[in-house]
Structure formats: C-alpha cells, structure tokens
Amino acid sequence: MTKKYLVGLVGESIEHSLTPDLHMQEARHLGLEYEYRIIDLLDPNLSEMSFEEVLAEATRSGYSALNVTHPFKQVALGSLKSSSTEVQEVGATNLVLQPGGQIHGENTDWSGFLFAIGQSIPNAKRDIVVQVGSGGAGGATAYALLKWGVKRLVVTDVDLSKAQSLAFRYQVLFPSARIEAVEISEALSILAVSDGVVNATPIGMYGHPGMPFEISSLNPVAWVADVVYRPIETELISQARLAGHVVVAGGLMAIGQAADSLRLITGLEPNIYRMRDHFMELLEDESALTRSKGI
C-alpha cells in the first residue's frame, strides 16, 4: 500500500511559492502519494492564528511535516521537543517533523546553500569571504560557509547589531575561523581582496530591484553567490557573469533545501538533478508570465 504524505508550508506572503510543485513532482517520481499545501498566515481566513495554533491544527489534520519560512523559523523553536544540532547552532528551523508526536526540528537552509556552493565552486578559494546580510538567510549561509571551511568571514548588514550578533555566536562555534562584523563601507573595501562574496539580502528579487554592491569593487577573480532566485538570474549574477566571475545562482540553494527536506520527510533519496530540471522549468514559466505582463 502506498504511504500517504500530507505536508504544508507555513509562512507569510507565500501564495506563489514553487516549493509545493517541486516536492510533489519529485514525490510522484518516487512513487509516493504526496500532497503539499500552502498555509499562508496572511490569508484572511488564517490571519488570526498563531504558529502554535497552526501546529495544533496540523496535528489534528494528520500532517506528516511542515516546512517553515519567514517569519516563523525562530518562532517555531518554542514548539519543538527535539532538534538537530544544526537547528540549535543556527538558531532557526525550517522543517518540523512529526507534528502529531515528538515534534522534531531540522534546518535544511544551511545544507541547501552548502549544496549550491559544492555544485558550483567545489574547489574555490575560501580564505576571505564577505557576506552582505545577516538576517534569516544570512544565518544559514554563514553557517554553511564556515562548515565549508572559510577561514575569515566578514559579515555586514545595514543593521550592524545583527551582523555583530551573528559573528559572536558563530565565533564560539567555529573557533579556528576568524569571524568579524563590520560596517558596510568597510566590508566594501574588503571586497577588493576577498576570494568570494555572498548576497544574503533580498536585494535583486522581484519588488526589491538593484545591486547590493558594485561588481567593479570586487577582486577580479572572486566568485559571487546570491540567495535570490526570483528572477532566475538577478542583476548581481548577470553582471558578475558578464564581468567574468564564477557565480552561484540562488536557485541551487532552493533545490538543495527542498531535496534535503524531502529526504527527511520520506526517508527516500530524491533525484537532485531531476528536481533541478523541474525547478528551472517552473522558473522559466514564471519568467515568461512576468514578461508577458510587462512586469
């Protein structure tokens, strides 16, 4: 008998998420009966519910797991009965397993980014890396970079206190690395000698156009990574590629995150390359629709 899975994505302004389609398509290839629902707490019918109430309702409805996104990745920690080491160290969860039992938290954001850089730049230099942004995505990417072996990580943010908090927390966890938080102006000066740079801000996504920094400020041989994947190719990635930099597009992180979540939910091994192809088809379709509307 085919095992049935009911999974949800809990967050705000997520009605256009590609995650459900990505999960369900691969689950079908794996021979699973798999339903993935959007639980958007900005929906008028759900807006009065707290995360704890959503979790209780998921328990009553027989959900197998919940993916968690902004702004609940830290809120969800209070509902967990156990969690992975990575959840404890990153300080956020994006996957809640067994909502009807011993509620367990995992974090596949960091491993998704580790997959992205491992696929794109496995042998790249990593002595000095600059990361712009230290919010939710930034916590995961910084953790992945340090796991990857970055020796000196320079973090900056418009809110310097957030960057300082991240640097302090991770310096304790990674004592052999040098982790520092600096003002944006100082970080930009370090770009000229860095081996790589990561954009962990929303700059470049639909509704937030622009560049987090100028390509001309980079070390000519630096690699450039972005967490934004809508549009498929951000202005940052496009300009960096044109200037001859090796790039890590944001879509790869999303694919790695989804594959790791699917593996933890089902115990089966997803085909990451098949998921990548399907994800790119979804993004191409979305880009074509956006262009047709003149957005």
> Which pLDDT does position 1 carry in this prediction?
64
> Which pLDDT does position 293 carry in this prediction?
54
User: Quick check: is 125 catalytic?
Assistant: no
Structural domains of the chain ordered from first start: 4-107 (3.40.50.10860), 110-252 (3.40.50.720)
The pLDDT tens digits of the residues spanning 170-197 come to 999 999 999 999 999 999 999 999 999 9
> Which pLDDT does position 289 carry in this prediction?
53
The pLDDT tens digits of the residues spanning 1-50 come to 678 999 999 999 998 899 999 999 999 999 999 999 999 999 998 988 99
Angle between helices 272-292 and 251-266 (to 10 degrees): 130
When pLDDT is averaged across residues 248-264 and rounded to a whole number, the result is 96
User: What is the distance, to the nearest Å, from the Cα of residue 28 to the centroid of all Cα atoms in its chain?
Assistant: 24
Q: How far apart are CA 101 and CA 17, in angstroms?
A: 27
> Which pLDDT does position 151 carry in this prediction?
98
Q: How far apart are CA 143 and CA 125, in angstroms?
A: 17
Sign of the torsion formed by the C-alpha atoms of 76, 93, 276 and 292: positive
When pLDDT is averaged across residues 131-158 and rounded to a whole number, the result is 96
Which of 73, 81, 125, 293 is labelled catalytic? 73
The pLDDT tens digits of the residues spanning 196-251 come to 999 999 999 888 899 999 999 999 999 999 999 988 899 999 999 999 999 999 99
Q: How many CB atoms lie within 10 A of CB 65?
A: 23
Instruction: Determine contact, residues 107/92, Cβ cutoff 8 Å.
Output: yes
CA atoms within 13 A on the CB side of 256: 25
